[in-house]
Amino acid sequence: NKRIKVKQLLASEQTGHEVTVMGWVRTFRNNQFLAVNDGSTNNNIQIVLELGQFDEALLKRLTTSASVKVTGEVVPSMGKGQKIEVKAKTLEILGDSDAEKYPLQLRNRPSLEYLREIAHMRFRTNTFGAVFRVRHSLAFAIHKFFNEKGFVYLHTPIITASDAEGAGEMFRVTSLPFDGTPRNEDGSVNFKEDFFGKSTNLTVSGQLEGELGATAFGEIYTFGPTFRAENSNTARHLAEFWMIEPEMAFSDLEDNMNLAEEFIKYIIQYAMDNNREDLEFLAQRLVEEEKQKPQAERSEMGLIEKLEFVLNNNFERITYTEAIDILLQSPAYKKKKFQYEVKWGIDMQSEHERYLVEKHFKKPVIVTNYPKDIKAFYMRLNEDGKTVAAMDILAPGIGEIVGGSQREERLENLEARMKEMHVPAEDLWWYLDTRRFGTVPHAGFGLGFERMVLFVTGMTNIRDVIAFPRTPKTAEF
């Protein structure tokens, strides 16, 4: 198979040699011009057929989305916007397509909502082509970043007995024996509500296990699927999403903030360097979308400008107490624009987070030192006895993308907190061992991968940046 990818072919701009291209027909005009896409780029390669070169019967089968194999000579193109095209020598149809039934052909400019209904086909659109190539690059950049920094990639369990206390509602694991389905007397399936006699769930976070790794390797990260039984149907929550969780020994909250900011900038830069074409396509898509909105609601910056701005500016760093003060002083508060109450001690709602980043600072914001009562037991208690060394990173258009903290490394403090929050110590004896045998200050965070992909691609619904979205309404695959 000597096929050349369209992206590589278009980039080389060389002419005079023979190539083989395989892909799917996008358009076929005047019985002569065949636009073929192979998914490596949104750009199509133009294949030129000579009139009379191929059977009428064959030409009829060149419908949108039929798969083809073409061999021919690369020649300079007369067409606008492309330097080369392929003069066909042989043309083979690999798979026919009934264009009348092709889901993407059924609507002109299909909406994102419609494409969600045909999620099995949406990769073939330019929008999703661009989104998933960018997602791929970000995933690759994540491993590259941590590898360069010497972090060990640790695979924490998917089925686990630990629930990372309060991170979210969990999915219980049940088992069905292989040898026939046991039934109850009423005929219903008799599931075993356990994992070989133990109660387990799908992981909501790999953090607690990650801490075991960090207190041995020094620095680790996880990058895997996490599951939360979110029955909320928001544009920012999925039941299955991917999370990146670095954990660093010998580190405090400041190190944690520095790492998170450097990390976010690194992966954005990687996408800017390697996915420029796709990002420009997505930026243009956004421009078109913005035109539908009333003037006042249009965003001031384009996608590329927004990413450049993030790369070139420091994230704002404020404490939770300062954040609440800003909200209380805000015109939005005075004009009673917030739906939810604002006072010290609240868990900030999305409207509050978005006010801080979009209206007040107009850039990403790191909020630190939250009240201990609204955060998990493992966060390090500050001197004031009221707040913990937590940090959330809030991004424009999205709100929270990162949640992290310095961990409580002092055994007595940790045990006291667990008692206070009714976390049974006997379930977490293995976790407490990290504090018993050579405890060290350590810190880490979790970045929701899909929220990051939303930010970089400018998409607005989380279902549009994961290949097979899992929400209460979508579980076809």
Token readout for 163 is 């629930």
Query: CB-wise, 405 or 439, nearer to ligand ATP?
Result: 405
Tokens representing 369 are 């030192």
Around 18, how many Cα atoms within 13 Å sit in the side-chain half-sphere? 7
Q: Which residue has 């801080």 as its token pair?
A: 356
d(Cα 416, Cα 342) in Å, to the nearest integer? 29
- Say whether 348 sits in a helix, a strand or coil: coil
| Cα separation, 398 vs 367, whole angstroms | 15
Among 28, 132, 151, 241, which residue sits at the site for ligand ATP (rule: CB under 6 A)? 241
What lies within 8 Å, CB to CB, of 7 at 6+ separation is: 40, 41, 43
411, 436 contact by CB (below 8 A):
yes
What is the closest distance, in whole angstroms, from the C-beta atom of residue 240 to ligand ATP in the complex? 8
Identify whether the C-beta of residue 4 lies closer than 8 Å to the C-beta of residue 40.
no
Stretch that binds ligand ATP, among 41-49, 278-286, 395-403, 414-422 (CB under 6 A): 395-403
Query: Does residue 444 interact with Mg ion by CB under 5 A?
Result: no
Residue 137: what are its φ and ψ, rounded to 5°? -65, -40
Query: Closest separation between CB of residue 348 and ligand ATP, Å?
Result: 9
Picked from Mg ion, ligand ATP, none, the partner binding residue 401 (CB below 5 to 8 A depending on kind) is: ligand ATP
Structure tokens at 236: 């920012």
217 within 8 A of 434, measured Cβ to Cβ:
no
Structure-token pair, residue 130: 């661009």
Window of 116-124, 140-148, 433-441, 445-453 that interacts with ligand ATP by CB under 6 A: 445-453
Residue 455 three-state SS: helix
Stretch that binds ligand ATP, among 214-222, 233-241, 279-287, 412-420 (CB under 6 A): 233-241
Residue 384: CB minimum distance to ligand ATP, A: 22
Token match 């999403």: residue? Answer: 241
CB of 228 to ligand ATP, least distance (A): 5
Candidate residues 85, 230, 409, 464; the one interacting with ligand ATP per rule CB under 6 A:
230
> For 153-227, where are the alpha helices, taking DSSP H only?
207-217
DSSP state of 358: I
Q: Which does 398 bind (CB under 5 to 8 A by kind): ligand ATP, Mg ion, none?
A: none
| Among the listed residues 280, 351, 358, 400, the single contact to ligand ATP using CB under 6 A | 400
**Interacting partner of 371 out of Mg ion, ligand ATP, none (Cβ under 5 to 8 A depending on kind):** none
In terms of CB distance, is 400 or 433 closer to Mg ion?
A: 400
| Sole binder of ligand ATP in the list 268, 303, 401, 454 (CB under 6 A) | 401
| Residues counted in the chain | 477
| Distance linking the first and last C-alpha atoms of the chain | 31
From residue 393 to residue 432, the character string flagging contacts with Mg ion as x (rule: CB under 5 A) and all else as - is -------x--x-----------------------------
Residue type, 106: L
Does 228 contact ligand ATP by CB under 6 A?
Answer: yes
Determine if 448 is a binding residue for Mg ion (CB under 5 A).
Answer: no
Angstrom distance (rounded) from CA 370 to CA 385: 11
Under the binding rule (CB under 6 A), the answer on residue 168 touching ligand ATP is yes
Element (H or E) spanning 100, and its range? Answer: none
Q: How many residues bind ligand ATP (CB under 6 A)?
A: 17
Considering the complex, state which of residue 6 and residue 208 has its C-beta at the smaller distance from ligand ATP. Answer: 208
User: Does 238 interact with ligand ATP (rule: CB under 6 A)?
Assistant: yes
CB of 104 to ligand ATP, least distance (A): 27
Q: Which residues bind ligand ATP (CB under 6 A)?
A: 167-168, 228, 230, 236-238, 241, 243, 400-403, 446, 448, 450-451
Q: Which residues bind Mg ion (CB under 5 A)?
A: 400, 403
